[in-house]
Every structure is written in structure tokens, then in C-alpha cells.
Amino acid sequence: MDATSFLKSKFFQLRLYGALTIILLIAAGYFTYTNVMNFLEIRSQTANNEVLFERLDDNSQQIEAELRKIKEENLDLIQTIQNQLDVVLPKSEDYTSLTRSLDNFASEIHRLKNPFLISNLQFAKSKNNSELAYESMPFKMTIQSSFDNFFKFLKFVETSGTLSDETRLIDIQSIIINFVSPTGTEGNTSGRDEINFNVAMNAYYRSPEK
């Protein structure tokens, strides 16, 4: 999948998630409207009936409680989505969080006999694009890896940018691979064939508001 198709796919997922949120809010609004109209109808029919006044009062309190609950739940949902978006597409380059994310990934999968070591991580000047809602921050690094962890890295990049996993949106621009023999090679720790590769990537973030 080329970079353009990859980005279109990721942003389609974000738009879909936002659309589902709007549908939820509309449904909540319809629920509220229906309950309020039912309440008003009952109150109109029984306004002159003192016997049913207490029932109306209870119904009113119940509707008010439901309204508060819906409002609180929607606010929590909106805040959750906003927090997830701030991770997937932060408001700035946010080098620190990206570096921490890469370090955490490496720490999770690196083993002496199954290595994944990142070195020479370098960031370049961001590429501004006034026509898009996002901008890209190029970076590159060198990685010493086992074959298994190499494919885990590719999967990590492929699934980046998902709201559910709350991972920064990144993609690969180019990659240069050197295969390392297990014997007679300095730095080989696994005793098996390894891959040393240089990879150039982009990390994405939201364009500053004008």
C-alpha cells in the first residue's frame, strides 16, 4: 500500500468514528425529545387532576435524571475521542511522545536472542502543507533486528493511527536492508540471521489552526 492510500485509509477511519459519534448524539437527542413530549402530553391531560400530580412530578424528575445522564455520557464520549485524536494526530510535532512510543515498542519485543535495537534516531524539519488538515514530520533511524521482530515492526507501522490502540500515525517512506550472518559479524547477538536496516519515515500531526 503506497503512502497516499495508507493515509486515505487512516483518515477514513477517523471520519467514520466521528460520524458514528454524531449518530449517537442524534439518537440521544431524539430519545430526549420523545420523553419530553410524552411528559408534556401527560401533564396537559392531567393538569387539573390533583390525584395524578405526584405521578407527573415523579415523571419529571425521572426525565431530568435521564437528561443529566445522557449529557454526562456524551461529554465523556466526546472527551475520550478527543484524547484519542490527540495521540493519533497531536497538535504539534511532539518529538518526545513519538520517541517514547518507539522506545516502548522496542523494549516490549527486544530479547538477547531475538533483538530489536534502535539507534541514530534523527528528526528532520516538518513539511508544511496549507491545503491539508495535517502535516508530516520526517525522521529516520537504524535498527538491528531479528527476522521475527522485523515483521512485527512492519505490523506496528501498518496498524498505527488507530483510535482504539491510541498510537501515533506513522508510515514508511523508504527502507534499506542489510542481511547479517550469525557468524563472524560484530554485534550479532542472536546466533541467527539478522536484519540491519535504515528506515526513513513520516509521523503526522494536525496543522496549526489559522
Amino acid (1-letter code) at residue 123: F
Answer with the one of 71, 88, 105 that is the final residue of a domain: 88
Residue 195, domain CATH? 3.30.70.60
Q: Is 49 helix (H, G, I), strand (E, B) or coil?
A: coil
Element (DSSP H or E) covering residue 88: helix 53-88
Answer with the one of 60, 88, 116 that is the final residue of a domain: 88
Residue 154 has a pLDDT of: 94
Residue 34 has a pLDDT of: 57
pLDDT lower than 70: segments of the chain:
1-61, 63-64, 67, 129-130, 181-191, 209-210
Residue 101 has a pLDDT of: 93
In this structure, are 103 and 130 located in the same domain?
yes
Answer with the one of 88, 109, 141 that is the final residue of a domain: 88
The radius of gyration of the chain's CA atoms, rounded to the nearest angstrom, is: 27
Asked whether 86 and 166 are in contact (CB, 8 A), the reply is no
Amino acid (1-letter code) at residue 140: K
Residue with cell 471520519: 15
Residue 210 has a pLDDT of: 54
Could you list the residue range(s) of the whole structural domain that residue 51 is in? 3-88
In this structure, are 155 and 197 located in the same domain?
yes
Q: Is 183 helix (H, G, I), strand (E, B) or coil?
A: coil
Residue with cell 535498527: 143
In this structure, are 99 and 159 located in the same domain?
yes
Residue with cell 486515505: 8
- Structural domains of the chain, count: 2
Residue with cell 495508507: 6
Per-residue burial over 159-188, b if 16 or more Cβ lie within 10 Å, else e, is ebbebeeebbbbbeeeeeeeebeeeeeeeb
Residue 3 has a pLDDT of: 52
Q: How far apart are CA 192 and CA 102, in angstroms?
A: 24
